[in-house]
Amino acid sequence: MPHYRFVYSKVGNARYISHLELTKLFERAFRRNGIAAKYTEGFNPSVKLNFAAPLSVGQESLKEVAEVETTQDALAALTNLSLPNGIELLAVKEIEKGTPLMSRLGAAVYRVENAEPIRLGMDIFMRMERVEWQKKTKKGVTLVDMKAFVYSMSYDEWKLKAGNTGGINPQVLLERLVELTNTELGLLPKDLGYVDGSHVKIIRTDLLDEEGRGLYEFG
Amino acid sequence: MHNLDFSLVEKPSRYIGGEVNSVVKENAAVRFAFAFPDVYEVGMSYVGLHLLYQMLNELDYLACERVFMPWVDMISQMEEKEIPLYTYETMTPIGECDFLGFTLQYELSFTNIVKMLSLSGIPVFSSARDASNPIVIAGGPCAVNPEPLADIVDLFCIGEGEEVMVELFELSRQFNLRDNAQRDTFFAHAAQLEGVYVPRLYRPIYVADRLTGYEDLNGNPMKPIRKRVAPPYRYTKQIVPFTEIVHDRVSMELFRGCTRGCRFCQAGMIYRPVRENTRESAVEQAKELIANTGYDELSLSSLSTLDYSEIEELIDDLLVAFDGTGVSLSLPSLRMDSASVGVLQEIQKVRKTGLTFAPEAGTQRMRNVINKGVYEENIIHTFEQIFSMGWFRVKLYFMIGLPTETDEDVEGIIKLARSATWIYKRVKPKDVKKSVEVTASASCFVPKPFTPFQWHPQCSIEEFEHKISVLKAANPNRKINLNYHSPKESWLEGIFARGDRKLARVINRAVELGCYFDGWADQFKFDLWMRAFDDCGIDPKYYNERKRSMDEFFPWDIIDTGISKAFLQREYEKALRSEETHDCREGCVVCGIGCMTEEGLSRFSFSDGISIPRPPAKETSKFELGGQNAAL
């Protein structure tokens, strides 16, 4: 059974399509394009389609990675896959079935735009020894150090921990940076000049494995 | 273009547009906003939307775009930011479109229509609009009684839209609709098209508070507007939503109209004559629809799908066509006298989940009153067959509040549902351990225009509530999963179903007071409705609970659906005597449509791919399950 790994982008209004909706979207696109995807067994068969990391609703990305198993050669069909506005298939290649993408995922890279208002917060963040974070997990809430989830931070690019062993959503980081900025400036929400971070644009640009290599390119 | 924040609302993907098979035309001579007066998930499940959308967008001068009611949280945001409703395809505010069309699927959507107009800054009443506003049109099943909306809608298309809508838009190109005088001329010309009703050109005549007829503006008696019967458009695409909607599948019409003549059913009457898609055409259409959408489910939808003349062969053809593709077939609720062994065997190959049937009434006498044509032996045989074949989940649809109904008839609903559980125990396959799941769903009967029950008073809310308590009392240990709807919504529906022109003000007042999304139980505000009626000085019971006299002129008598009033009266009288009428495939019952006459055959003869079914051979098919319907 052939396995394929592909890269797609999800931008503009397509960012509001949820992960579950996206799965259905690809299933239907495969069917429209005559791609015989392999289905799981059982009562409600679904396409054997695996994603590296679900994108939050509202988050744009220039490079998402997924894998699909088909019952016959589908390279040409995948290359020409027709998709709705805002979602585009950028690259596809055949691979040997290996470790699931989600297990290999180690980090996600984000491009940050219009971040001038929160530069102050970023400076503070980088200077702090430890940033306490009540992280919500499946089991409840644990107290962790947010800095351990931020591999690198510059004014226009963040590399954040992602994958099965835990990750951080860039919006959560943004909220903290906004908080740090306003605390430093002594501003409350009702004050003039309060920085709200709503103009900061964050777009995912890459997914990396645990060795820091491109998730699509390697493995 | 706007500063709406989709991340603040529930299910944002239902607002973004850009779906597969949506058509964007930035430049078009005529821009038509097709408005479905409910949320996206409901509107996108309506097959007529996809059909008309594809058909109209084939006209290169026309852009047919969509608009839906935003959900409550989005409405708040739009009102707060003063953003008017806009179309999905080009984000054009609907107030700037040339035409704005509403599909009238159910009466409780009328407040949504008014709300959508208000949200777009379009004056609600027709008389308050001018050439700077879109022309507001409407069609769909409720348009057969257009009068409750006659002061709001500029123009109705009665019957099927395939031909008349194209004629209407073609005609509009000859006029500058932004000029008041030319617009008036357009209306006068449009009114000449068959099936078009322009309310402003007519007025009702009242004598001592009783409606006696309608006249045109010159005082001449109004000629009834004849509904359009069109060759069904062969649509091959559906817009594929991102969001999960009510019906996430291909829905294909097999035929229009129905020959059974169930007396409560308006659709069966108003969509006559029966016209079928040929089997070859249906299979091709199914293949194209699946190929263009990528859906994995195909629903064969028609008023009585199993009555399609070659249903077993068609199912067979479709199973062959889709073998190995993962595409499954689904059927809507089934008649209990047509579910032959052959058909069930075919269905079972792809679907092992529940089956749905609509006995509609719990006792044989009641079924005779409503002319359902389903008998005890049909019901028993159906249960025996499906349960022995392995099905264990069945849903049964019923109505309460039917004419002449007694408490005993209501209890009969539970008895019928219970009989399914006993039959299951008796015939289920030996190795199956699980118990049967039987659901009985009871809705409150609403008498509709153009049915034999159009004279009959609807039950009061108290009467409905009593019947519901009888149902519950008959099901004390909850053996049957009982679903019932709130009587208040059906009672309100009953007012507008048989309403007149005076009701437009009440609808508007209700919206002013805060009513909309009336079809949604948690949004329905009955008390505000009652205030609206009071504020307008209108007694609601005049419309639903009043027994109408047999010689009364109804507001909807200005519409000619081809069904004669004399036929409906005969059927009503037979109903009150619990007498049945046979399926008209066995012999014409003279309903008035005249599909078997020479005139009818030439009027309704269409191109390849459509046919009027001939009466079936008299002998019973060897696969027939339920036994011959012997009534005559």
**Statement: residue B343 has pLDDT above 80:** no
Chain B partners of A21 at a C-beta cutoff of 8 Å? 13, 242-244
**What's the gap between Cα B593 and its chain centre?**
20
Q: List all residues of chain B from 116 to 145 with a beta carbon under 8 Å from chain A.
A: none
What residues of B are in contact with residue A27 (Cβ under 8 Å)?
Answer: 294, 296
In chain B, the residue whose alpha carbon lies closest to the alpha carbon of A45 is B326
Residue B618: is its pLDDT beyond 50?
no
pLDDT along chain A (219 residues), means of 10: 95 96 95 85 77 94 96 92 94 93 96 96 96 89 95 97 94 96 93 90 97 93
pLDDT at B341 exceeding the cut of 80: no
Span A22-58, pLDDT tens digits: 999 999 999 999 897 887 777 667 788 999 989 999 9
Contact A84 B19 (CB under 8 A): yes
Alpha carbons A18 and A185: distance in angstroms, whole number: 36
Query: Concatenated DSSP letters for B22-59?
Result: ----SS-SEEEEEEESS-HHHHTT-HHHHHHHHHHHTS
Residue of B nearest to A22 (CA): B242
Q: pLDDT band at residue B263, thresholds of 50, 70 and 90?
A: very high
A100 touches chain B (CB under 8 A): no
Residue pair A108/A204 in contact by the 8 Å Cβ criterion:
yes
Pairwise pLDDT comparison (B614 vs B241), residue with the higher score:
B241
Handedness of CA B75, B77, B80, B81 (dihedral sign): negative
- What is residue B351's predicted lDDT score, i.e. its pLDDT? 62
What the block records as the tokens of B150 is: 């006659």
Paired residues of B360 in beta bridges: B398
Q: How far apart are CA B581 and CA B631, in angstroms?
A: 7
Mutation site, B1, B3, B13, B297, interface A, largest A CB count within 10 A: B13
User: pLDDT tens digit string along B54-106?
Assistant: 999 999 999 999 999 999 999 999 999 999 999 999 999 999 999 999 999 99
B7 interfacial to chain A (CB closer than 8 Å): yes
Asked if residue B214 has pLDDT above 70, the reply is yes
**CB of A57 less than 8 A from some CB of B:** yes
Q: Is B478 exposed, middle or buried (0-12, 13-18, 19+ CB in 10 A)?
A: exposed
- Rounded to a whole number, what is the distance in Å from the CA of B11 to chain A's nearest CA? 8
Cβ-in-10-Å burial (0-12, 13-18, 19+) of B517 comes to buried
- C-alpha dihedral, A179 to A181 to A186 to A187, nearest 10°: -70
Question: Is B8 an interface residue toward A (CB < 8 Å)?
Answer: no
Judging contacts by C-beta atoms under 8 Å, the chain A residues touching residue B290 are: 31
What's phi and psi for B256, nearest 5 deg? -110, 155
Chain A: residue nearest B10 by CA? A16
Neighbours of B396 (CB within 10 A): 24
C-alpha dist (Å) from residue B527 to B37, B109, B466: 22, 17, 21
- State how far residue B285 is from chain A, nearest Cα, in angstroms: 15
Task: Say whether B16 and A18 touch across the interface (CB within 8 A).
Answer: no
Q: Give B487-503 as a 3 state SS string.
A: HHHHHHHHHHHCCCCCH
**pLDDT-derived band at B596, boundaries 50, 70, 90:** confident
Phi, psi of B60 (to 5 degrees): -70, -15
CB B22 within 8 A of CB B89: yes
Is B245 touching A (CB cutoff 8 A)?
A: no
ipTM of the complex: 0.91
Cβ contacts of B564 within 8 Å, gap of 6 or more = B590, B591, B592
B294 touches chain A (CB under 8 A): yes
Band of pLDDT at residue B150, cut at 50, 70 and 90: very high
Residues from chain A that touch B294, judged by Cβ atoms under 8 A, are: 27-32
Q: Are A16 and B18 a contacting pair at CB < 8 A?
A: no
How would residue B311 be classed by pLDDT, with cut points 50, 70 and 90? Answer: confident
Q: For residue B616, what pLDDT is reported?
A: 52
Which of B7, B244, B292 minimises the CB distance to A58?
B7
**B276 DSSP β-pair partners:** B255, B611
Query: What amino acid is encoded at B186 in this protein?
Result: F
Query: pLDDT > 90: what percent of chain B?
Result: 79
| CB crowding B211-225: b at 16 or more within 10 Å, else e | beebeeeeeeebeeb
CA-based nearest distance B321→chain A, Å: 14
| Residue B617: pLDDT band with limits 50, 70, 90 | very low
